[in-house]
Copies of this chain bind each other. A is one copy, B any other.
Amino acid sequence: MKKVNNIAVLTSGGDAPGMNAAVRAVVRTGIYHQLNVYGVMYGYRGMLKNEILPMESKSVANIIQRGGTILKTARCKEFYEPAGRKKAYENLKKHNIDGLVVIGGDGSFKGAQKFSEEFDIPCIGLPGTIDKDIAGTDFTIGFDTAVNTAIEAIDKIRDTADAHDRLFIIEVMGRDAGYIALHSGIATGAEHIMMPEHKSDVDDIIADLQANERRRKLVNLIVVAEGHETGGANGVAEMIKHQLPNADTRVCILGHIQRGGSPTCQDRILASRMGYAAVNALLEGTHNVMVGIVNDRIHYTPLDHACKAKQEMDPEWVKMCKILAS
C-alpha cells in the first residue's frame, strides 16, 4: 500500500451548509497525521488553474459554524474532457498531491471517478448536497440545515396564511428529489406535499381543498418540490386558480435561502465525521469511494455506485402525512 503524504480537498457543485465543517475536518485530521494538506479553490476549476493553497490548522479556525464554503465552488466543463483532467493532474503533481477529497454531489463524483481511473491519485467523495439524493448514505451534508431553514420559513408563512385564511403554495428546493418537500411538509403540517417521486393528482388536491372549504378549513399549505412535473409552485397555482377562481392563493418560492446559513448540529457532526473518515480512508489505502453514513455508521460505497439515488418514498409516510394534516 502506497503511503499518502500530501492531500488536497475541494468543494464542487452546488454549495451546502456544512461543507466548511467537512473541510475543517479533512484539514485537521490530515495535519494530525502529519500530512501536508492543500485546499483547491473553486472545485475542479482550481485544479485546472492551479489555484491550490497550503492549509494550516488555523486556516480552518472558526468556520465550523459558517455557511457557504471557504474554498468556494464552481462548475467546470473542462474537467469533463480528458485534456482538462490531464491539466488538473499535472497541477496536483506540482504539489506532489497523492490523495484528493471531493465534497460535492453525484456529478462531482462522476468527475472524481473518471479522474482516479486515469491517474494514480486516489479520490474520496463526501456527499455534500442539500438534496439528499445520493445512494450509499442515509444523509448528505446540508440536508438537515436546508429542511430546518425551510420549516422556519414555512412557519412564518403559516402565521400570515392563518391571519388571512389563505391558501399558500410553497416551492422548496431539491431538484428532482422530493426529500426537502417531504420532510418540511410533514414538519410544518402542510395539507398537501407534492414530490416528483410520487404522482399527485391535482384533481384530488382540488377536491380536497373544496371539501376543506365546506368545513371552513380555509388555511391550507401546499409544499411542492421545484422539480415537480407541474412546473413547481407557479404551475400548481395556475392549475388551482383555473379550477378554483375564487381561492385566495399566494405563491412563495423559498429559493436560495435553503443553501445558506449556519449548519445545524447534525450537519456539523455529519460533516466532521465524514471528513475525519475520508482522511482515515486515504491513510488506510481505501480508494475511490464515497464516505456515507448508514444506520449511524460510516459506510463506504465505490464512487461509481454513489450516483443519484432513486429512492422510493415510504408509502406509510405519505399516508401519515395525510392523516396528521387533516
Within 8 A of B (CB), among A135-176: 138, 144, 147-153, 155-165, 168
Task: Choose from B68, B138, B189 the contact partner of A64 (Cβ within 8 Å).
Answer: B189
**Best-buried of A153, A161, A265 by chain B (most CB within 10 Å):** A265
Interface residues of A (CB under 8 A from B): 11, 15, 17, 19, 24-25, 28-29, 31-32, 57, 62, 64-69, 72-74, 138, 144, 147-153, 155-165, 168, 183-184, 186-189, 250-257, 259-262, 264-266, 268-269, 272-273, 276, 295-296, 320, 323-324, 326
A186-B268, A253-B255 as given contacts; A262 in contact with B323, CB under 8 Å: no
A156-B149, A257-B157 as given contacts; A265 in contact with B163, CB under 8 Å: no
User: Helix, strand, loop or mixed for chain A's interface?
Assistant: helix
Interchain nearest-CB distance for A53 vs B (Å) = 16
In Å, the complex CA distance between A320 and B280 comes to 11
Pair A25/B265 contact, Cβ less than 8 Å: no
In Å, the complex CA distance between A187 and B17 comes to 13
Interchain nearest-CB distance for A31 vs B (Å) = 8
In Å, the complex CA distance between A264 and B152 comes to 9
In Å, the complex CA distance between A72 and B57 comes to 20
Please give, as numbers and ranges, the residues of chain B lying within 8 Å of A72 by CB-CB distance.
162-165
Pair A250/B256 contact, Cβ less than 8 Å: yes
Pair B260/A155 contact, Cβ less than 8 Å: yes
In Å, the complex CA distance between A25 and B187 comes to 11
Pair B68/A162 contact, Cβ less than 8 Å: yes
In Å, the complex CA distance between A72 and B188 comes to 20
Interchain nearest-CB distance for A234 vs B (Å) = 11
In Å, the complex CA distance between A93 and B224 comes to 45
Please give, as numbers and ranges, the residues of chain B lying within 8 Å of A273 by CB-CB distance.
320
Please give, as numbers and ranges, the residues of chain B lying within 8 Å of A252 by CB-CB distance.
255-257
Pair A257/B15 contact, Cβ less than 8 Å: no
A-B contact pairs, 27 of them (CB 8 A): A15-B159, A15-B163, A25-B324, A28-B323, A28-B326, A29-B320, A29-B323, A57-B326, A65-B155, A65-B158, A65-B189, A67-B156, A68-B162, A72-B162, A73-B163, A156-B257, A156-B261, A157-B257, A157-B260, A159-B259, A159-B261, A168-B256, A187-B269, A188-B268, A272-B320, A272-B324, A295-B296
